[in-house]
Structure 1
Amino acid sequence: MNDDHRTHPRIATVGVHILDTLGAPVDHLPSGQSSLRLREIRVAPAGTAAGVAVDLAMLGADVATFGAVGKDEIGAFLLGSLANHGIDTSGVVRIPDVQTSASILLVRPNGDRPALHVRGANAVVSWDDLGPPDLSGFAGVHVGGLDAMAGLDRTGSLALMAAARAAGATVSLDFQSSAQWLEAPLLELLPGADYFMPNLEQAIGLVGPGTPEEVSERLLDHGPRAVVVTCGELGAVYRDAERVVHQPAYAVDVVDTTGCGDSFCATFLLATVRGLATEESLRLASGAAALVASGLGSDGHLSTWDRLEEFVRTAPLLTS
């Protein structure tokens, strides 16, 4: 890999595309037709493909994204926003007679964000609609949110990941839904991934209760090369066949936790593709999640790779 490809590697994201509308802070819902004045309202690309694609582009990757939106104004706006980040959206199909997936997030003062969501195009797109994508020539591929895309069967999904790995890509996998929507058959997807990166709630939803160390071990038994379980303020736990690595979280004033997992996945994959050691990849990924948590929306205060490195060098870690 030459220096330019190492600094600006080609990375693809495949999966969920959502447009988020966020409002903060929301400490209660007004009754009747009364109103609540907020500090900020923002719209942002989100979802485990679109949100990850934006983070990757901000950090210097050459990014293409694959998925589906509707033939509506929301879809046009979402595609335009992605293009403004320099992301290749030619692999995003527009499906007629269905709306683009969208969410309204009411961000509480502590950073929690109950969501109102329309599944839209993500729920109906099929592998026939998508091509499927040609992922040759990419150094990394992030597959995000297959659990929320009922039309993408597991056979086709595993074939896609196998083809990407055979072409030399590092493949990461995560899910979109909260634990209540995850079912055990999704574990059949894990052998397709080099890195499976759920949050702790999702991991427990898939393999049952336990510590991050315990659930990561159970997930590893299902076939990925490695598992990274993100645990919010408790940091992250990495596990492969030979070792376990613990990464503390960084101390920040939390504004909004939307997109923290996406930024973690994006940064870990990019750092890994750039050849960094696992420990350094985890530090940078944890730092990216902290920067996102300190602002509103799926990218928060994440900006450039240099800014991320500076943050990781100087920011304090949370200690138990």
Structure 2
Amino acid sequence: MNEITCIGILVTDLIAAPITNYPDKGKLVIVDNVGIFTGGCAVNTGIALSRLGIKTGVIGKVGNDSLGDFIINSLKSENVDTNGIVRSKEKNTSTTVVLVNDEGERSFIHYIGANGDLGLDDINFKYLSGNKIVHIAGSFLMPKFDGAQTAEALRKIKGMGITTSLDTAWDSSGKWFETLETCLPYIDIFIPSIDEARMISKKDKPEEIAQFFIEYGVKTVIIKMGSEGSFAFNGKETIYMPAFKVNVKDTTGAGDSFVAGVLTGIIKGFSLKASLELGNAVGALCVTSFGASSGIKSFDETMDFIKEHKNNK
């Protein structure tokens, strides 16, 4: 039985770095590193959770192709339960070309693929029975599932006595709040980035943003703030947690890793403050290596990192 299941986007990432300048039309540039990695919010968060010692499953959709095999086999090798993954008969596996500049920041070329096929009827709710948390990973990148279907899934999951969590991606459609509004009353833990949270709420400061979502029924708002750390508000506690200072190589997967750290803390009964600190640590370790999962350590190694770097924030 899984403790946490991640429902969301499954992606193969083709990462090229560092990109110091972009080629002109018909031209070529040379990079130091190119690699193929697993990616997508559900995959990244699932792998990080498993490495942290949490029994984890993933629900999502891949194509009937070699990249789908790559994702499923990679998850299995990380001891992530893949029984909830289904194959699309219409679309290939979602893929992102990730271009990383010399400061570690990323730009993306994305093919939605099978993630756009994922729908409510692909979710086996019996598979979720006994979970402590179900995390929706990658809202705004699942056009069939986003909005009403996500709200219905969250409603059913909460009805099973399971804590719900949701993380967003960038909404290229620009609908933002319109898509998410019906979901908010069923979200226990909401974990957007600061930029996404601003776009959804039309508020600027973290305190204002958090209050906006609390008023719509969210129980706890946790905001990812990149190099500035993280913020949380649950109607009682207001917490700012500074980031750990590390040598950044690639920020791919940092937000998903942060989510895994926070949810691990919650599963283990940590305080909200300690859960944020654990999230910051997992995110910090992530960015020290290329790829979304290469830098993720075990729970004990991560706790050692916190002890060693507690004053290095």
Q: TM-score range by the shorter chain?
A: over 0.9
**2:183 corresponds to which letter in structure 1?**
L
**1:262 corresponds to which letter in structure 2?**
D
User: Is the deviation greater in 159-168 or in 302-311?
Assistant: 159-168
Question: Alpha carbons of 1:111 and 1:118: their partners in 2 closer, same or farther (altered >3 Å)?
Answer: same
Question: Alpha carbons of 1:173 and 1:228: their partners in 2 closer, same or farther (altered >3 Å)?
Answer: same
- 1:220-259 aligned at under 5 Å gives the runs 220-259=214-253
Is it true that 1:40 corresponds to 2:57 in the alignment?
no
Task: Give the drift of 1:179.
Answer: 7.1
Cα deviation, 1:53-91, whole Å, max 9, x if unaligned, reads: 111111111111101011111111111111111111111
TM-score (norm 2): 0.93
Cα deviation, 1:151-178, whole Å, max 9, x if unaligned, reads: 1253432332233333332221111225
Cα deviation, 1:169-202, whole Å, max 9, x if unaligned, reads: 2221111225774521213212211110000000
Q: Matched residues in 2 for 1:35 and 1:49: separation?
A: 33
**Which SS does the other structure have where 2:127 is aligned?**
coil
Question: Alpha carbons of 1:133 and 1:145: their partners in 2 closer, same or farther (altered >3 Å)?
Answer: farther
User: Is the deviation greater in 268-277 or in 175-184?
Assistant: 175-184
User: Is the deviation greater in 176-185 or in 79-88?
Assistant: 176-185
- 1:1-320 aligned at under 5 Å gives the runs 10-31=3-24, 34-131=27-124, 134-152=127-145, 154-178=147-171, 181-185=174-178, 186-315=180-309
Q: Matched residues in 2 for 1:51 and 1:182: separation?
A: 25
**1:122 corresponds to which letter in structure 2?**
N
Cα deviation, 1:118-142, whole Å, max 9, x if unaligned, reads: 0001112222233456311112211
Alpha-carbon contact 1:158-1:189 (below 8 Å) kept? yes
**Which SS does the other structure have where 1:217 is aligned?**
helix
Q: Matched residues in 2 for 1:162 and 1:149: separation?
A: 18
**Which SS does the other structure have where 2:217 is aligned?**
coil
The unaligned stretches of length 5 or more in structure 1 are none
Aligned length: 312
Question: Alpha carbons of 1:221 and 1:318: their partners in 2 closer, same or farther (altered >3 Å)?
Answer: farther
Question: Alpha carbons of 1:77 and 1:212: their partners in 2 closer, same or farther (altered >3 Å)?
Answer: same
Q: Matched residues in 2 for 1:226 and 1:175: separation?
A: 15
TM-score (norm 1): 0.91
Q: Matched residues in 1 for 2:104 and 2:126: separation?
A: 36
Question: Alpha carbons of 1:275 and 1:77: their partners in 2 closer, same or farther (altered >3 Å)?
Answer: same
- The two structures, once aligned, show a CA RMSD in angstroms of 2.0
User: Is the deviation greater in 231-240 or in 167-176?
Assistant: 167-176
Question: Alpha carbons of 1:269 and 1:177: their partners in 2 closer, same or farther (altered >3 Å)?
Answer: same
**Which SS does the other structure have where 2:101 is aligned?**
coil
Q: Matched residues in 2 for 1:107 and 1:201: separation?
A: 19
Alpha-carbon contact 2:169-2:196 (below 8 Å) kept? no
User: Is the deviation greater in 219-228 or in 146-155?
Assistant: 146-155
Task: Give the drift of 1:117.
Answer: 0.5
